[in-house]
Protein backbone atom coordinates (compact mmCIF):
# COMPACT_ATOMS: atom_id res chain seq x y z
CA UNK A 1 0.00 0.00 0.00
CA UNK A 2 1.39 3.41 -1.00
CA UNK A 3 0.18 6.36 1.03
CA UNK A 4 1.29 9.83 2.13
CA UNK A 5 3.89 9.73 4.90
CA UNK A 6 2.90 10.63 8.44
CA UNK A 7 4.95 11.82 11.39
CA UNK A 8 5.09 8.23 12.62
CA UNK A 9 6.96 7.28 9.41
CA UNK A 10 9.78 9.82 9.72
CA UNK A 11 12.25 7.54 11.52
CA UNK A 12 11.73 4.72 9.01
CA UNK A 13 12.14 7.11 6.04
CA UNK A 14 15.29 8.52 7.66
CA UNK A 15 16.74 5.01 8.09
CA UNK A 16 15.90 3.95 4.52
CA UNK A 17 17.39 7.04 2.90
CA UNK A 18 20.54 7.01 5.01
CA UNK A 19 21.08 3.29 4.44
CA UNK A 20 21.52 4.06 0.73
CA UNK A 21 23.40 7.28 1.47
CA UNK A 22 26.02 5.22 3.34
CA UNK A 23 26.55 3.33 0.09
CA UNK A 24 27.02 6.59 -1.85
CA UNK A 25 23.72 6.15 -3.71
CA UNK A 26 21.80 9.10 -2.19
CA UNK A 27 22.43 12.20 -0.18
CA UNK A 28 22.35 11.89 3.59
CA UNK A 29 19.27 13.44 5.14
CA UNK A 30 19.00 14.55 8.74
CA UNK A 31 15.92 13.58 10.68
CA UNK A 32 15.12 17.29 10.86
CA UNK A 33 15.16 17.57 7.07
CA UNK A 34 12.88 14.53 6.81
CA UNK A 35 10.40 16.19 9.16
CA UNK A 36 10.62 19.46 7.20
CA UNK A 37 9.84 17.74 3.92
CA UNK A 38 7.60 14.94 5.21
CA UNK A 39 4.63 16.14 3.17
CA UNK A 40 6.70 15.49 0.03
CA UNK A 41 6.96 11.78 0.86
CA UNK A 42 4.93 8.74 -0.01
CA UNK A 43 5.65 5.48 1.77
CA UNK A 44 4.90 1.86 1.04
CA UNK A 45 3.96 -0.37 3.95
CA UNK A 46 3.96 -4.14 4.31
CA UNK A 47 2.68 -5.76 7.48
CA UNK A 48 2.41 -2.37 9.17
CA UNK A 49 6.04 -1.49 8.47
CA UNK A 50 7.48 1.14 6.10
CA UNK A 51 9.49 -0.74 3.48
CA UNK A 52 9.90 1.99 0.87
CA UNK A 53 9.68 5.71 0.30
CA UNK A 54 9.80 8.35 -2.40
CA UNK A 55 9.53 12.13 -2.40
CA UNK A 56 8.17 14.58 -4.96
CA UNK A 57 9.89 17.93 -4.58
CA UNK A 58 8.34 20.88 -6.37
CA UNK A 59 10.70 23.35 -8.03
CA UNK A 60 8.47 25.56 -10.08
CA UNK A 61 5.08 25.51 -11.72
CA UNK A 62 6.38 23.26 -14.48
CA UNK A 63 8.91 20.99 -12.79
CA UNK A 64 9.30 18.60 -9.87
CA UNK A 65 11.93 16.07 -8.85
CA UNK A 66 11.34 12.49 -7.86
CA UNK A 67 13.89 11.87 -5.15
CA UNK A 68 14.78 9.64 -2.23
CA UNK A 69 13.30 6.56 -3.88
CA UNK A 70 14.35 3.75 -1.54
CA UNK A 71 13.17 0.22 -0.87
CA UNK A 72 14.42 -1.89 2.03
CA UNK A 73 16.95 -4.58 1.12
CA UNK A 74 14.55 -7.34 2.13
CA UNK A 75 11.78 -6.05 -0.14
CA UNK A 76 13.66 -5.26 -3.34
CA UNK A 77 12.47 -6.98 -6.49
CA UNK A 78 8.84 -7.13 -5.40
CA UNK A 79 7.45 -4.17 -7.35
CA UNK A 80 7.59 -1.69 -4.46
CA UNK A 81 9.87 0.72 -6.32
CA UNK A 82 7.41 0.62 -9.22
CA UNK A 83 4.47 1.35 -6.91
CA UNK A 84 6.30 4.26 -5.32
CA UNK A 85 7.45 5.75 -8.61
CA UNK A 86 4.00 5.50 -10.15
CA UNK A 87 2.50 7.05 -7.01
CA UNK A 88 4.87 10.01 -7.26
CA UNK A 89 4.15 10.42 -10.98
CA UNK A 90 0.43 10.35 -10.27
CA UNK A 91 0.88 13.01 -7.59
CA UNK A 92 2.71 15.15 -10.17
CA UNK A 93 -0.18 14.65 -12.60
CA UNK A 94 -2.68 15.58 -9.89
CA UNK A 95 -0.75 18.83 -9.44
CA UNK A 96 -0.90 19.47 -13.22
CA UNK A 97 2.87 19.44 -13.57
CA UNK A 98 4.04 19.04 -17.15
CA UNK A 99 7.28 17.21 -16.29
CA UNK A 100 9.23 15.48 -13.57
CA UNK A 101 12.87 14.51 -13.41
CA UNK A 102 15.16 12.35 -11.30
CA UNK A 103 18.88 12.05 -10.79
CA UNK A 104 19.71 8.37 -10.56
CA UNK A 105 22.25 5.58 -10.76
CA UNK A 106 19.56 3.32 -12.23
CA UNK A 107 18.30 5.07 -15.39
CA UNK A 108 17.05 1.79 -16.88
CA UNK A 109 14.52 1.49 -14.05
CA UNK A 110 13.06 4.92 -14.86
CA UNK A 111 13.18 4.32 -18.62
CA UNK A 112 10.78 1.37 -18.15
CA UNK A 113 8.19 3.98 -17.13
CA UNK A 114 8.72 6.41 -20.00
CA UNK A 115 11.52 8.58 -18.62
CA UNK A 116 14.26 9.52 -21.05
CA UNK A 117 17.87 10.36 -20.32
CA UNK A 118 18.80 14.03 -20.70
CA UNK A 119 21.95 16.05 -20.26
CA UNK A 120 22.11 17.40 -16.71
CA UNK A 121 22.79 20.85 -18.16
CA UNK A 122 19.25 20.79 -19.57
CA UNK A 123 17.88 21.11 -16.03
CA UNK A 124 17.48 24.57 -14.51
CA UNK A 125 20.25 25.69 -12.12
CA UNK A 126 17.90 25.74 -9.12
CA UNK A 127 17.79 21.95 -9.09
CA UNK A 128 21.46 21.87 -8.10
CA UNK A 129 21.06 23.60 -4.72
CA UNK A 130 21.32 20.29 -2.85
CA UNK A 131 24.47 19.38 -4.75
CA UNK A 132 26.61 21.67 -2.64
CA UNK A 133 26.13 19.15 0.20
CA UNK A 134 27.13 16.18 -1.91
CA UNK A 135 30.66 14.76 -1.65
CA UNK A 136 30.50 14.06 -5.41
CA UNK A 137 29.52 17.64 -6.31
CA UNK A 138 32.58 18.21 -8.48
CA UNK A 139 32.36 14.82 -10.17
CA UNK A 140 28.67 13.94 -10.25
CA UNK A 141 28.08 10.56 -11.86
CA UNK A 142 24.30 10.43 -11.58
CA UNK A 143 22.18 10.31 -14.72
CA UNK A 144 19.37 12.80 -15.29
CA UNK A 145 16.09 11.37 -16.51
CA UNK A 146 12.91 13.27 -17.32
CA UNK A 147 9.28 12.39 -17.99
CA UNK A 148 6.91 14.63 -19.91
CA UNK A 149 3.45 14.25 -18.43
Determine how β-strand 99-104 pairs with β-strand 63-71.
parallel
Distance CA 95, CA 40 (A): 13
Distance CA 39, CA 42 (A): 8
pLDDT in tens, 100-125: 999 998 999 999 999 999 987 787 76
pTM above 0.75, yes or no: yes
Q: How far is CA 20 from CA 12, 24, 91, 111, in A?
A: 13, 7, 24, 21
Residue 4 has pLDDT above 80, yes or no: yes
Cβ neighbors of 120 (< 8 A, separation 6 or more) are 103, 140, 142, 144
pLDDT in tens, 57-89: 998 889 999 999 999 999 998 999 999 999 999
Domains of the chain, with CATH numbers?
Answer: 2-148 (3.40.630.30)
Amino acid sequence: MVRPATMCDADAVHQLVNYYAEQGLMLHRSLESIYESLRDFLVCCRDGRVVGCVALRLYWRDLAEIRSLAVSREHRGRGIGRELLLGAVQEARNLCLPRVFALTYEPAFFEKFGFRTVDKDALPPKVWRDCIHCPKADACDEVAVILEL
